[in-house]
């Protein structure tokens, strides 16, 4: 079996920044902080207590949020926040809006303002880089 101790992987930039800041407060490197958070998250996610089952029921919409304790509410909010961030990171809003016939405007890699049309064409609106 291959050594999986330190496989190269991509981590979201905001997590690296947060890990570096929190790690500095905890006398850990950013990598050590990410490892710590992952282990804590793994332990919480795999711990199937009655509290965890209540949180999972609330996440599934099968239980009212008012039945959660404040600690369970913190876990619920963390689960929702992580799910939202994962969805946002994976969404291509330009293509979604184009499919609905919406023209969008965004900065390109060179910092220029570009208009993206639903038909797939685009035009540079502000070419101050020239």
Q: Split the chain (130 residues) into runs of 10 and give each run's mean pLDDT.
A: 66 89 91 91 79 91 93 92 84 86 90 91 77
Here the tokens at position 42 are: 């793994």
pTM across the whole model = 0.50
Taking alpha carbons only, the member of 60, 21, 61 closest to residue 37 is 21
Segments making up each domain of the chain, as ranges: 13-90, 93-126
Here the tokens at position 23 are: 């790690």
Q: Is the dihedral of CA 95, 96, 99, 100 positive or negative?
A: negative
Strands (E), 9-129: 104-107, 113-116, 122-126
Predicted confidence at residue 9, as pLDDT, reads: 81
Predicted confidence at residue 94, as pLDDT, reads: 83
CB-neighbour burial class of residue 36 (10 A; exposed 0-12, middle 13-18, buried 19+): middle
Contact between 103 and 113 (Cβ < 8 Å): no
CA–CA distance, 110 with 78 (Å, rounded to integer): 35
Predicted confidence at residue 81, as pLDDT, reads: 92
């Amino acid at each position: 079996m291959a050594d999986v101790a330190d496989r190269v992987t991509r981590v979201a930039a905001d997590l690296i920044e947060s890990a570096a800041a929190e790690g500095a407060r905890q006398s850990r490197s950013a990598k050590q902080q990410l490892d710590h958070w992952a282990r804590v998250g793994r332990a919480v996610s795999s711990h199937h207590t009655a509290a965890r089952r209540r949180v999972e029921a609330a996440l599934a919409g099968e239980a009212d949020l008012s039945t959660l304790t404040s600690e369970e509410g913190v876990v619920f909010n963390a689960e929702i926040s992580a799910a939202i961030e994962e969805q946002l990171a994976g969404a291509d809003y330009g293509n979604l809006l184009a499919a609905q016939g919406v023209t969008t405007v965004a900065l390109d890699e060179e910092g220029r303002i570009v208009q993206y049309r639903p038909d797939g064409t685009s035009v540079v609106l502000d070419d101050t880089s020239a």
